[in-house]
Each structure stands twice: as C-alpha cells, then as structure tokens.
Amino acid sequence: MQTLNCHGKLIDLSVPKVMGIINVTPDSFYDGGKTFTEKEILKQAEKMLSEGATFLDIGGYSTRPGADEISESEETRRVVEAIEIILKIFSEALISVDSFRSKVAKKAVEAGAAMVNDVSGGTLDAEMYKTVAKLKVPYILMHMRGTPKTMAKLNDYMNVTIEVLKNLSEKIALARAEGIDDIIVDPGFGFAKTREQSFQILNNLELFQNLDIPVLVGVSRKSMIYTTLEISSEDALNGTTALNTISLLKGASILRVHDVKEAVECVKLFESLKNITK
C-alpha cells in the first residue's frame, strides 16, 4: 500500500487522490490572474476542498511555455501569503507548494505547506533535494528539460518514454540518497515534450509503475488536449476528463487538476469499475 506522510497525517493512495490547482500568478496559461486577492483565494480553496480535493497545489511562478522569470522574493511572497490565507480558515488543508526553488519551498513549508511540487525535478536548484529531506515532506519529482522559458525547444528524444523513465529513475536514486522518503513522480506532460510525445507517454503510462512509487498526472486543460480538439483551454474540460480517466486506468495515483468536482467523479467511477467482481 502506498502512503504519503503529510505533517504526520498518512494519506492512503490505494484510492487515487485529486490535487486542486491554485495559481496565484497573473500569467498562468488557464487561470492566471483569477486568484490574486484574499477573497478569491479563499473562494477557490473552499470550492476545491468541498468538492473533494485531498491536496491544494499553490503556485506563484507561471511554468507555461515561454513564461517570464520572476524574483525569488516575489514568488515567496505570493505563495506564503496564499498558504497563510488558506490555513487561517482551513487549518486541516494539505497544501503543496509548486516551486523549483529550494528557498521558496522552505519558506512555504515553514508557513504550513505539507508537500513540495518541483517541476524541474531538482535540476534548477542544486539544494532542493537536501532542503526537502530536512523539511521531511513528500516531494513531487517531475521530468522537464531546461527552464519554462526554454523547454519548448528541448524535445529531441530517441524514445521519449524510455528516456523520461530513465531520467526519473536516476533522480529518484539521487533524492533517496539525500534522505527524501516520500517521492511522487510526474512525467511532465507538455514540459519539453511535443503533443505527440505527451500522448506517447500517456499511452505507456503503466510502465511508470515499474518505478514502484506513486505517479501524478497533470494534463488538465493542457495544449495536448485543446490543440488536438482545435478548441481553447476554456473548452477543454471534457477532454481533460477523458484523459484523466485513461490515466487512472493506467495507474495514476494523483490527478492534478483545475476542476476538482469532475476529477473526483472520475475517481469514484474508476473505483466502482475496479471493485466489480467479474
């Protein structure tokens, strides 16, 4: 049985969990600028928690392709304020901080975050593994090449699934060696990957079970959906639900989404299917 220790609370992943996305940024690809005030942050947190989110993922730095860099101090201010605002009202909420900077992660955990979600998997900050190990929180290790600004051009693979698996396996070993106990992997859909490469990874997602740790899937409203369907990200909920369902069938333990209610429904239907005796 796979579990995560979040501030002493054991989260059982034998039933997949949903992570709601709260971006406190002005420029994220789908929800940028929507949750920038205290009232908006609380409204979004309350909605997601009431709809069944196990985790809330707070991001203060947009990682959309070509995103501009922001200062460490500004990112820290954004995420720490949001964490404090949420925990003041929802003290039991399990918050993940979405950052590739170890100092931001440290300040966020000190403010009450229970998990670190690093889109760079440790490649953009040499102190990240040591920092997370000292903080004793679960770590989401994602695959990416380059930075959000440069990653779109870094998608040359011989076999994307095999290379991503190999890279994640190597990073897991490094993170374990530093003392990180709870690790979740994220293949990084759309990060240094073309649409076709993202679909190839999804098609082979069950192979990531060989890493023997939980797999997080984050495809919510991404370009692999809306460019395929020739629609906008605003119209990509149905496509997101379809790919989330496929992800569950192929072994995903956590769905990271903008739309919690629909993802929770996916999990409930998946569990009903799984528990039927033939």
| Catalytic residue IDs | 222, 256
For 79-90, give one letter per residue: b (16+ CB within 10 A) or e.
bbbbbebbbeeb
Angle subtended at Cα 203 by Cα 198 and Cα 208, rounded to the nearest 5 degrees = 90
DSSP code for 209: G
Task: Report how far residue 103's alpha carbon sits from residue 221's, in angstroms, rounded to the nearest whole number.
Answer: 29
Rounded CA-CA distance 197/199 in Å is 5
Whether the Cβ atoms of residue 107 and residue 136 lie closer than 8 Å to each other: no
**Under 8 Å CB-to-CB from 169, ≥6 apart: which residues?**
211
CA dist., res. 191 & res. 145, Å (int):
7
Residue of 166, 150, 148, 168 whose CA lies nearest to 158: 166
Q: What is the dihedral of CA 83, 178, 11, 106, to 10 degrees?
A: -10
Scanning the chain, the segments in alpha helix (DSSP H) are 38-50, 72-89, 102-110, 128-135, 160-178, 195-203, 223-229, 237-249, 260-274
Tokens of 37: 């005030």
